[in-house]
Amino acid sequence: AQYKKNKDKHLIPLPLDMLYLFFNHNINSFLRKVDNVRDKSLVFVTEFYNEARVKLHDYNAENSLTKQQRTFQIPGYTIPVVNIETSPFTVEMLPFGYVIPKVISTPNFTILDSGFFVPSYTLALPFLELPALQVPKYSLELSLPEFEVLSMLRNIFIPALGNITYDFSFKSSVIALSANAGL
């Protein structure tokens, strides 16, 4: 028996045209919902930011009026083992907290025997202030591209299996046996 290719195909229907129509009809409502959520979240973030900015400004103004700025002065000193002499320096703190300094004046120091000298520096941190948030009235539009299916595949073709054949033969000096089976 010789193998013969089976040219039959099985068809599995695939209703992609219904899926395409569903997406086309519902994409506009989806875009409207996305625009609505985007606008609401933008309004929420803008209002929250502006409210926080006003509260920070009021807090800073209230604390700067009621509390005096604190300035810590550290006197000059000499480190005896390494023979380093430092000048006095100051640290000016913000009026409403002990954690973050506003201005730091570093000391100048001199290594006495070598004549090595490092001048003093003043480091000033900028005051924390939130700028006004500018949100355009006409926000960016989100648009998805439109697509069109030119030729739609409505079926999936699966080739059928070929013929299955089985050949059996048995030969001996007394008998010869041969059998064929095909499906």
* Verdict on whether the full-model pTM lies above 0.75: no
- Does residue 158 lie in a domain region? no
pLDDT at 128: 62
- Does residue 48 lie in a domain region? yes
- Does residue 24 lie in a domain region? yes
Q: Which two tokens stand for residue 173?
A: 């000096």
Q: Provide the CB-side half-sphere exposure for 141 (13 A, CA).
A: 5
- Does residue 55 lie in a domain region? yes
What is each CA distance from 98 to 57, 87, 94, in whole angstroms? 19, 23, 7
- Does residue 57 lie in a domain region? yes
What is each CA distance from 159 to 9, 51, 129, 153, 172, in whole angstroms? 4, 68, 71, 16, 41
Please give the residue range of the domain that contains residue 34. Answer: 11-66
The mean pLDDT of 70-74, rounded to a whole number, is: 76
pLDDT at 178: 92
* Digit-coded pLDDT (tens) for 35-71: 888 888 888 888 888 888 888 777 766 666 566 667 7
The mean pLDDT of 138-156, rounded to a whole number, is: 66
- Does residue 124 lie in a domain region? no
- Does residue 60 lie in a domain region? yes
Separation CA 101–CA 71 (nearest Å): 9
Number of structural domains in the chain: 1
- Smallest Cα–Cα separation from 106: which of 125, 91, 121? 121
pLDDT at 63: 62
Separation CA 120–CA 105 (nearest Å): 7
CA 79, 82, 88, 92 dihedral sign is negative
- Does residue 23 lie in a domain region? yes
Lowest mean pLDDT of 5-19, 28-42, 46-60, 91-105, name the range: 91-105
Average pLDDT, the chain: 75
